Amino acid sequence: MKIDVYDLTGTKVEQINLPKSIFEAKINEQLMAQAVRVYQGNQRMASAKALTRGEVNRTTKKVYRQKGTGQARHGSRKAPIYVGGGVAHGPRGNQNFSLDLPKKMKVVALKSALSLLAKEKKILVIKGLTEIKQPKTKDMAKLMDKLIEKSKQRRVGIVTDIQMEAAVKSLNNLKVLEVYKANELTTFNVINSHWLLLAQETVKTLENRLIK
């Protein structure tokens, strides 16, 4: 697959061939959905916690006398049957939502996501990010506006490599932009992006990671 390469001014300078096995793979929507579910499950924190009857701060006075009322016996307002009482079998704050997916399935899902964006022509390659020595967010904002129409209304992901620290600092200040490392890119990152920008050097990194 041929794809356009742009320099830091937003000018098209050349075309390169993207690996067919990564960017023209068979699209497996079911596996992509599974990979996203696993990713989100692993990001989830067990924040829900309900108080048991032993933890509720209420009076310990007996509700009413034991006998002679004709009603059921009750000993505490903390019982789950009462409003404001403890919760029976509620969440305890230690739930485990983590899931797992075999490595090969993760690779196939990521290839599917990249192929889907490539098919929709929503992937661009940027040349020269390693040449940036001083962070300049203003220059990066101009580049985004030139490359992507209405870029401030789109979720844009950009894939960088480890030797692009100055560029990453510039890009991190743009609210609509999410910066990802090529060796940590996930299916969720790709699917969550309307557009995906690849630093030219990351194409080789993805190739080494996904083609075995």
- Asked whether the predicted pLDDT for residue 164 surpasses 80, the reply is no
pLDDT in tens, 170-196: 888 887 788 899 999 999 999 999 999
Read off the tokens for 202: 């990351």
- Binned at pLDDT 50, 70 and 90, residue 139 comes out as confident
Q: For the chain, what are the domain ranges?
A: 2-44+98-210, 47-96
- Asked whether the predicted pLDDT for residue 128 surpasses 90, the reply is no
Burial class (CB in 10 A: 0-12, 13-18, 19+), 79: middle
- Asked whether the predicted pLDDT for residue 144 surpasses 90, the reply is no
In the DSSP assignment, the letter for residue 131 is G
Q: Which fold has domain 2-44+98-210?
A: Ribosomal Protein L4; Chain: A; (3.40.1370)
Which pLDDT value is given to residue 38? 95
Which pLDDT value is given to residue 152? 64
Q: Give mean pLDDT, residues 53-68.
A: 92
Helix (H) or strand (E) holding 199: strand 195-199
